[in-house]
Structure 1
Amino acid sequence: MELLWCWIFTGSLMFVDIIWTLPISEEQWLRPEDVQLAEGYLRRFYQLRTSSSSRHQSRNRRDTSAMVDKIKEMQGFFGLEQTGTLDPQTLAVMRRDRCGVPDVENFSVYPKRTKWRNKTITYRIEKYTPDLTREEVDRSFHLALKLWSDAAPLNFVKVNNGKANIVLTFASRTHGDFFPFDGPKGVLAHAFEPGQGMGGDVHFDEDETWTTGQEKPGYNLFTVAAHELGHSLGLSHSKNPSALMYPNYKYYDSAKYTLPRDDVMGIQALYGKPIRKQETVTIPRKCDPNFSVDAVAVIGNEIVFFKDRYMWIRTTWSTYWNQLREGFSSTYLPGINSAINAAYDIPAKGVAYIFTGPKYWVVQQLKMKSHFGSIYEYGFPSTVKHIDAAVHVSGYRKTFFFVGQVYYRYDENKRKMDPGFPRSFPLDLLSIVRKIDAAFELEGHIYLFSGTKAYLYDYRQDRVLKRIPANAWLGC
């Protein structure tokens, strides 16, 4: 070991602070701030304990040995060479933005298996951040919780007041839990394991800048919340860099992110696998007088009609009904196992968007695996749980979404909702229908489906030109 002598003057008194430094290379001399960083990091995340906390008392060899051991433990956790020295790689990891929960001796899945007894868990947002709108915060937390409920039999219920299992809040510096935040960067948030009182709660550092994407500088709230809520459910940190429960911050896009296997296995070890209801899917009778469709879209050169979890396909150019193909949706759209609520296509891009509840799927061609996103990326309020129908009007480069008796208009170029929406249906349309089930555009014409009927609608003149049975396209 090497001795580093620091002479500290206080008034007329002089103290000698003997710091037992760590083994270092001949080329490298540690700065005092590096040692302070390391000690603080190891105390907070690796339970480093020294015999004295006073800077005016000498530290003994036992302290130095403990620090070397803790550095090795930290290096082992992050997959670094376990030298016990504060090399540049180790210090670089210590400087990264991260979760405030310790990496060791805390949140252990085994053997205590700390978890919630009930699988219906309530949550409440105590304080919002001014960086985002309330809807953006609500949506971020909703999507973060859904990651976990998709992987385990958990049901999260939001309450607006009173007691809740998990309380989420934004705070800065000292905020009443004995774990003060450190200002901008560094520790971004922390959470508590399931339990009474503060158990399960999540605190976000208000000194950070919170975002919903990656366009602006700051930290993505969905990413941080999803990680912290893993702690709220009883998970510890993972050593796997690709896992959500890895302690260091990494941006994840809520539209494309799925829970990695490491995290799935962890949450299922606590709560089990999600319960999948066994449903009997019957094939709809397309020529039934009461037949209606759920969604329609043009995918490639084919018009696709959806009903429940079944679909019919006919080419846009064929007039022969024997060219009609049909089958279960999952056969033609791998990965989409839910009933389809709405769909629309953009011919100029050669893609179609399929909506199932709060998700949408991007489809380029049938039988090709597609990726998904969230409907809230479009700018829908959190009160919208699913889309009834959608249609893209190529002449305007706008997409119309129908929800109940109102509609939204989305600008595909600007990628945001037009101001002044939602609006009620136009009067001529409202006099005929109360709800739109499906819609699609073909050769400049808009077809709107409502119940057992389909309507040829001229959106320029706001006039219904013709009415036909909803199953007329299917050869009935």
Structure 2
Amino acid sequence: MNLTQSQLLEDSHSQPLKDPHSQRQEDPHSQLLEGYLRRLYSLNPRGRVSRRRIRSTYAMEEKIREMQTFFGLRETGGLNPHTLNVMKKPWCGVPDVENFSFYPRKPKWKNHTITYMISKYTPDMKREDMEMSFRSALKLWSDAAPLKFIKVNHGKADIVLSFARKTHGDFCPFDGPRGVLAHAFQPGEGIGGDVHFDEDETWTAGRKGYSLSAVATHELGHSLGLTHSKDPSAIMYPNYRIQSSTQYSLFKDDELGIQALYGTPKGKLATEPAPEICGPNFSYDAAVMIGKEIVFFKDRYMWMRTMQKTFWSRLRESHISTYLPSISSHVDAAYDIPAKGVAYIFTGHKYWVVRELKMKSHARSIHEYGFSSRVKQVDAAVHVSEYGKTVFFIGEFYYR
């Protein structure tokens, strides 16, 4: 899992990329850069003559752009502070790829009853806490797909979970504290499906250290056949994130991926895909600013883009109820008043006053707002800060 908690730095100008070999002594970040790109983006910058070095420098720029594209950063090919900060984050040692997607040839377990074994425990946690963390992680995947996991203590198992330091026999050595937290192998014979956790990290069942349940959930996604997702809300996103709750969950992108491989559990409807936002006939139902997020609504989904000083982040998709827990239906209209730091969201004959995402709010009637009983819903709304006026559109009429 590519998983740091330092605050992102913004630099309006990328730094020119120098030859990594001549730069190594003067630039303390060059080894981090080269190691990161070699592990996750198949960089091979070695070369003895100047022409090879020119090619290797160009290859490194291309790999940096590839990494910046994945994380929604400005594509400069240079090592600016924002890019460096992402590289410093603790991460999964599996190469980055697209939204939910699969390994070549889409390997998966043929038998939907999968055995697992803990071959080596960590001294950081009690055994019962460790086993509970793994059970919780496996249950998330079995709730989303028709899979059953059985723990075995002897003999062979499909998935073997273990803790190790540095070189540990799989040609993928760990790098000490932080950096790579764990790695996993795609479904298959032998080492296939196995998960290795870096013993140099501090593992925990709570908030301190790294959550074993969260990292295990991500790595087990690889064990089942999923690669990394570009959706920042997905558990298969490569960076480790601290959640407000110790209870982790799969998101829509994770469910769509695992169901594409194994189908849906008996009696459960398949996860509904979101509308195709690149379709020629696509239109949003409403848009509004909530804090530093511009939020777009369509049906029961929302897309968010964050304003970060001089640039906007990439769009992130989610169910409306994930970030606006009080609202379960589609949004008809919305507007915000920046001076007050509030947003007004309308659905049918109700509206909500929202100050920040993930905060519950109480529904109010639009008739209490001032509309007559003839008005059943608001079609659109806009606040004009210059005049301090809000305009509402309802059918062929508008109200101010």
Per the normalisation by structure 1, the TM-score is 0.50
> Could you tell me which of 102, 109, 112 is aligned with 1:116?
109
2:151 corresponds to 1:158: yes
Distance 1:168 1:181 in 2: 15
- The answer to whether the Cα contact below 8 Å between 2:97 and 2:230 also exists between their aligned partners in 1 is no
Q: Say whether residues 1:241 and 2:236 are aligned partners.
A: no
Structure 1 or 2: larger strand share? Answer: 1
Distance 1:34 1:161 in 2: 45
Aligned to 2:129: 136
The structure-2 alpha-carbon separation of the partners of 1:277 and 1:75, relative to structure 1 and needing over 3 Å to count, comes to closer
Contact kept? 2:228, 2:237, Cα under 8 Å: yes
Structure 1 residue aligned with 2:162: 169
Q: Which amino acid aligns with 1:151?
A: A
Map of 2:275 onto structure 1: none
Shift of 1:3: 9.3
Aligned CA distance change for structure 1 residues 132 and 51 (closer, same or farther; 3 Å): closer
Number of the residue aligned with 2:34? 39
Query: Residues 227 and 155 from structure 1, CA distance in 2 versus in 1: closer, same or farther, beyond 3 angstroms?
Result: same
Shift of 1:158: 0.4
How far did 1:277 drift? 8.4
State the shift of 1:31 in Å.
5.0
Question: Conserved in 1, the CA contact under 8 Å of 2:93 and 2:182?
Answer: yes
The answer to whether residue 186 in structure 2 is matched with residue 193 in structure 1 is yes
1:231 and 1:186 map into 2 onto residues whose CA distance is: 18
Name the residue aligned to 1:211. 204
Instruction: Give the Cα separation in 1 of the matches to 2:19 and 2:46.
Output: 19
Task: Give identity over the alignment, percent.
Answer: 62
CA distance in 1: counterparts of 2:200 and 2:19, whole angstroms: 36
Gaps (5+ residues) in structure 1? 7-16, 22-29, 279-476
Q: CA deviation at 1:50?
A: 2.5
| 3-state SS of paired residue (2:160) | strand
Kept in 1: contact 2:137–2:213 (CA 8 A): yes
Deviations 1:218-245 (A, max 9, x none): 1010010000000000101011111100
The question of whether the paired residues in 1 share the 8 Å contact of 2:185 and 2:223 is answered with: yes
Change (3 A) 1:116 1:60: same
Q: Counterpart of 2:196 in 1: which secondary structure?
A: strand
Deviation of 1:104 after TM superposition, in Å, equals 4.1
User: Which of 268, 276, 290 is the equivalent residue of 2:267?
Assistant: 276
Task: Tell whether the 8 Å contact from 2:70 to 2:230 is kept in structure 1 after alignment.
Answer: yes
TM-superposed deviation, 1:130: 0.5
CA 1:127–1:5: 2 relative to 1, 3 Å: closer
Q: Aligned partners of 2:200, 2:176: CA distance in 1, in Å?
A: 5
Deviation track 1:66-118 (CA, whole Å, cap 9, x = no partner) reads 1111000000000101111111100000000111111149x952661111111
Q: Deviations over 1:391-411 (max 9, x none)?
A: xxxxxxxxxxxxxxxxxxxxx
SS of the aligned residue for 1:270 comes to helix
The DSSP-based 3-state class of the residue aligned with 1:173 is coil
After superposition, give the CA deviation of every residue in 1:364-403 in whole Å (9 maximum; x if it has no partner): xxxxxxxxxxxxxxxxxxxxxxxxxxxxxxxxxxxxxxxx
In structure 2, the partner of 1:251 is 242
Which amino acid in the other structure matches residue 263 of structure 2?
G
Q: CA offsets, 1:175-219, max 9 Å, x none?
A: 1111111111111110000011100000001111111011x3x10
Classify 1:273/1:253 alpha carbon distance in 2 versus 1 (closer, same or farther; 3 Å): farther
CA 150–69 in structure 1, closer or farther in 2 if over 3 Å, else same = same
Cα separation, 2, equivalents of 1:233 and 1:4: 40
Gaps of 5+ in 2: 1-14, 270-400
| Aligned residue in 2 for 1:91 | 84
Query: Pick from 139, 143, 168: which aligns with 1:146?
Result: 139
Structure 1 equivalent of residue 56 of structure 2: 63
The number of residues matched between the two structures is 255
Partner of 1:126: 119
CA contact (8 A) 1:190 1:228 kept: yes
How many Å separate the matches in 2 of 1:253 and 1:84?
Answer: 34
Taking the TM superposition and a 5 Å limit, the aligned residue runs for 1:71-90 are 71-90=64-83
**Shift of residue 258, structure 1, vs aligned partner:** 2.5
Q: Is the 8 A contact 2:17 2:61 kept in 1?
A: no
Instruction: Name 1:361's counterpart in structure 2.
Output: none
Task: Give the deviation of 1:51 after TM superposition.
Answer: 4.3
Answer yes or no: is the 8 Å Cα contact 1:48–1:67 preserved in 2: yes
SS at match of 1:64: helix
Does the Cα contact within 8 Å between 1:143 and 1:254 map onto a contact in 2?
no
Give 1:257 deviation, angstroms. Answer: 3.0
Separation in 1 of the partners of 2:245 and 2:115? 22
Give the match for residue 444 of structure 1. Answer: none
| 2:33 and 2:87 in contact (8 A); partners too | yes
Match of 2:215 in 1: 224
- Give the Cα–Cα distance (whole angstroms) in 1 for the partners of residues 124 and 141 of structure 2: 25
Taking structure 1 as reference, are residues 18 and 2 closer, same or farther at Cα in structure 2, changes over 3 Å only?
Answer: farther
SS of the equivalent of 2:28 reads helix
Contact 1:192 1:199 in 2 (8 A): yes
C-alpha deviation, 1:256, in angstroms: 3.8
What is the alpha-carbon root mean square deviation over aligned residues?
Answer: 2.9
| Separation (CA, whole Å) in 1 of partners of 2:121 and 2:227 | 26
What is the alpha-carbon distance in structure 2 between the residues aligned to residue 50 and residue 246 of structure 1?
Answer: 27
The 3-state SS of whatever aligns with 2:29 is helix
Distance 2:255 2:220 in 1: 14
Contact 2:193 2:224 in 1 (8 A): yes
Bigger relative contact order (CA 8 A; separation at least 6)? 2
Deviation, 1:33, is 2.1
Rounded to whole Å, the distance in 2 between the matches of 1:202 and 1:212 is: 18
Task: Tell whether the 8 Å contact from 1:223 to 1:251 is kept in structure 2 after alignment.
Answer: no
> Which residue pairs with 1:340 in the alignment?
none
